[in-house]
Structure 1
């Protein structure tokens, strides 16, 4: 009599630390040692800190062992950690991925205005990066943002694009929205 395969479960770990390589190494090693596999990960630097987010998959007992070991690792290696159980990402075969690029003079309200635009149009945010820098000519603070969004099935793309460009013009944003394309290595 064979046992049924264990149902795969997921764990999301968010960690902050000052040494990005050590942080990544410790958490990926702990994952491997506890028979968990990395499904996705992102690492970004923010000032003196690095933020690492991992989604891990494994059996319930492997994830439980890993969860139990994480507070001790965080204390020993001086990083901050948050852990939560997660379900697999839902499959949305009819959803269309798009990327919105925005550049403008920095204002504190730009990100919430962008998010509100997409909320109002029932568009889901998949990922976002935002950076500020000093303009070489003027020394003013500039903003570059890239938002990867998922358009719901049935969205009239030309209408949404026109709405986004009108919205951007009203806020004096230099922007573009186009279909997402995989990055070539």
Structure 2
């Protein structure tokens, strides 16, 4: 059934994906996961309504993140429950999207596998803003076989001078076989070449 059109200033496109991981273990009866991402105007944040519908369907929230990007809010939620509860939640989300002015993406997933061979480190970068900084940082870690676990970057104007600035906080997973001092030297040399002010320290919790 096609959802009714919303105002052209906020087009709604619903996409539901079904991803199958043949290598992942089959979930137990009460460990079915649904990853949900909802987007809406900041004045209509879906956090309260979305979390209520998850609870009403007999599911629980494993993780939740909220971010305001531009004029919109993104709510990312990982829900867990029995197969029946997750199926009920999927139906509720379909109705929810039809009733509200928001974009919704959701699909079945599984819990994150433990990676005990990865050491968590925190990277912070500050620099004068220019095109391509984030791409070059991400490419550096990809080239060195390092996973980016979390990333938050922003472009802002310095209060003192008015200069356009770039800032990023990144959590990475470094393989335990990596020579940390050599990696840090390579990273700082890379940052020096781009005139980036950066640090790389172990996560302390």
TM-score by length of 1: 0.91
Aligned to 1:78: 101
The list of structure 1 runs, each at least 4 consecutive aligned residues, that deviate by more than 3 angstroms after superposition, is: 19-22
1:173 and 2:196 aligned: yes
Q: CA deviation at 1:108?
A: 1.6
Counterparts of residues 71-110 of structure 1 (less than 5 Å): 71-110=94-133
Aligned residues: 178
For the Cα contact (< 8 Å) 2:30–2:80, is it kept in 1?
A: no
CA distances 1:3-34 after superposition (whole Å, capped 9, x unpaired): xx725111100111124774111111111011
Find 2:157's aligned residue among 134, 157, 167: 134
Q: Which residue of 2 aligns with 1:55?
A: 78
TM-score (structure 2 length as normaliser): 0.82
RMSD of the alignment, in Å?
1.5
Q: Which runs of 5+ in 2 are unaligned?
A: 1-27
Structure 1 residues not aligned, in runs of 5+:
none
1:88-136 C-alpha deviation (Å, 9 max, x unpaired): 1011122110110000011120000000000011100111111111123
State the Cα distance separating 1:153 from its structure 2 match.
Answer: 2.2
Structure 2 residue 88 is the aligned partner of structure 1 residue 65: yes
Partner of 2:40: 17
